[in-house]
Structure 1
């Protein structure tokens, strides 16, 4: 598939995640932005007036004069919709679109732990897409979610280790960028020169989501991985990039060299090379003693590669490392777009006219 034959709608198009969808879809070879939807206060305005554009890059010309419509199915013409909606409203709106027959590719948390909804990362658990067949929305609609931005980097680094060895427990300290709080996000006087050791709900997500993502698909359901995760989440004064400082316990002693080899040689269970948003490698290992750093590594693989470094023996568990992911690209809009590409590749999303 090479022509932009699939029309996409973006729900919550004026918000921070919605704007990332707009930027990354503006020149997409498979998808064409057809509808921008947002709250009633934005509806009826041209996008250039409705959106407080946050990027240093100019707003794409194709969307500046596009009229924003309400987030209702009858106002949206599209073959699929991406949801950048806030969780406070996403649940009901996404359900309305699924009932109306739309494939909904969501970045919101509302349906992530629903037993019939895939919590998808194509290079890790593509078989979980089969959960779509267990959903009961009308008219062929469905919902697929991507993980929380704090979960993504950790899980991408854990997957090679889970595949090669038996992982029993993970202790992780998250250093999370300001952009993860959305816009306007954390007040400047709280953020500057400071670290906030609390992000509501994040530690619970890190406890729950990895077990589902790393679980196995069996008989129409996910059998969760037996994995204990203890997480502490901190907001730090960095614009983009979540750092996961992780310590891993295995069922038997594993050397840092063995863990590094597993990370370096990991390959996806499916070939994702045909997907436009897929990086050359899901995980990149950097052996520099001070890597990874958000300033240097966050845009690896166009923001879709997770960089792992500081792989060492741990005196408490077995191996410790640091993983860096771009929270608004791989951890949000970019990950959702990759999910849609994989579903198109599998034939689960097709033009409505077809």
Structure 2
């Protein structure tokens, strides 16, 4: 039997990616979509200003959009995906959790909460065990799981591979696509012939989330990784795909060839949306490039290249599709992990 799922905030940019990725999914059946009061009661076709590069699935187009409230979600829905703005999610998600729903959320609120799993299934699936603590402490029958920020998830799989050499410090400068700000987030007059050397809140997310993702679950909480992380985040006129320049220092010396071998050894997991090989490493120093490589592994694979030695360690570039691997696809993959591990 398929697992019946719903999308909270289904008309936005990430919500549309959810709908695209759920079409013909082998495990999930989309049963309900919600949005703001202004959209509730309309068909999805009427409510959504569709921006994804495929057509709206016919069955979804004629769905009636519900209000984003537990009372509007059918009782037989097993799992909810949240793409709500963080300010809305902070107020709304707890009501669904108290009502007993399991929520896999892309929203940024509560990612660093001590009892909320922040999860990349190929990197730290064991962090889902925080759900037991979360339920005990908050009295929820449901469960809340978060995926990391789109820029964080681009870098962390490569860091996880390098951690066998003992990560000590990381510096990263990002070149982030405009889709990461949402459809109306950056105007054409701001970004054409330009680059914006600041993205509010993004640097802090990379610096804190990375340490939680690579931390250890000790049975009561997450012991954050001890590495230092410094980030500089920049918006550039690329449509999709975050490219990042990473400088990593490790306790043990690692040659570029050894680092590349460690990254290539990073495998996917046995879940429908996980690529067979998590990281593709290019020998060509001109790759990865957003336009050419963001779609690798159906948008779920990380690309890396340009591995070189520095006086203190290594430098390299990495890339991921920010609205697939970095948002809807990451949350979808967490949902698959929740099902596989028996939480749903």
Task: Give the TM-score of the pair, scaled to structure 1.
Answer: 0.94
2:267·2:279 contact (CA, 8 Å) conserved in 1? Answer: no
Q: Tell me the distance in 2 between the aligned counterparts of 1:130 and 1:222.
A: 10
Equivalence for 1:119:
118
The runs of 4+ residues in structure 1 deviating greater than 4 Å are none
Q: 3-state SS of the aligned residue for 1:29?
A: coil
1:169·1:228 contact (CA, 8 Å) conserved in 2? Answer: yes
Q: Tell me the distance in 1 between the aligned counterparts of 2:174 and 2:339.
A: 33
Q: Tell me the distance in 1 between the aligned counterparts of 2:175 and 2:21.
A: 25
Task: Give the TM-score of the pair, scaled to structure 2.
Answer: 0.97
Cα displacement string for residues 141-164 of structure 1 (whole angstroms, at most 9, x for unaligned residues): 0100000001001101110111x2
Equivalence for 2:101:
102
Q: Tell me the distance in 2 between the aligned counterparts of 1:104 and 1:279.
A: 23
Q: 3-state SS of the aligned residue for 1:143?
A: strand
Equivalence for 1:342:
337
5+ unaligned residues in a row in structure 1: which ranges? 350-354
Equivalence for 1:37:
34
Equivalence for 2:56:
59
User: What is the CA distance between 1:139 and its match in structure 2?
Assistant: 5.5
Cα displacement string for residues 132-183 of structure 1 (whole angstroms, at most 9, x for unaligned residues): 0111344620100000001001101110111x21110001000000000012
User: What is the CA distance between 1:47 and its match in structure 2?
Assistant: 0.4
1:130·1:220 contact (CA, 8 Å) conserved in 2? Answer: no
Cα displacement string for residues 245-278 of structure 1 (whole angstroms, at most 9, x for unaligned residues): 001111133221221111112346xxx22x1111
Equivalence for 2:81:
82
1:15·1:51 contact (CA, 8 Å) conserved in 2? Answer: yes
Q: Tell me the distance in 2 between the aligned counterparts of 1:145 and 1:156.
A: 16
Q: Tell me the distance in 1 between the aligned counterparts of 2:20 and 2:262.
A: 34
Cα displacement string for residues 326-348 of structure 1 (whole angstroms, at most 9, x for unaligned residues): 11011100011111101101111
2:118·2:146 contact (CA, 8 Å) conserved in 1? Answer: yes
5+ unaligned residues in a row in structure 2: which ranges? none
1:116·1:221 contact (CA, 8 Å) conserved in 2? Answer: yes
Say if 2:148 is the partner of 1:147.
yes
Q: Tell me the distance in 2 between the aligned counterparts of 1:154 and 1:289.
A: 18
1:284·1:305 contact (CA, 8 Å) conserved in 2? Answer: yes
Equivalence for 2:199:
199
Q: Tell me the distance in 2 between the aligned counterparts of 1:303 and 1:336.
A: 13
User: What is the CA distance between 1:55 and its match in structure 2?
Assistant: 1.5
2:165·2:253 contact (CA, 8 Å) conserved in 1? Answer: no
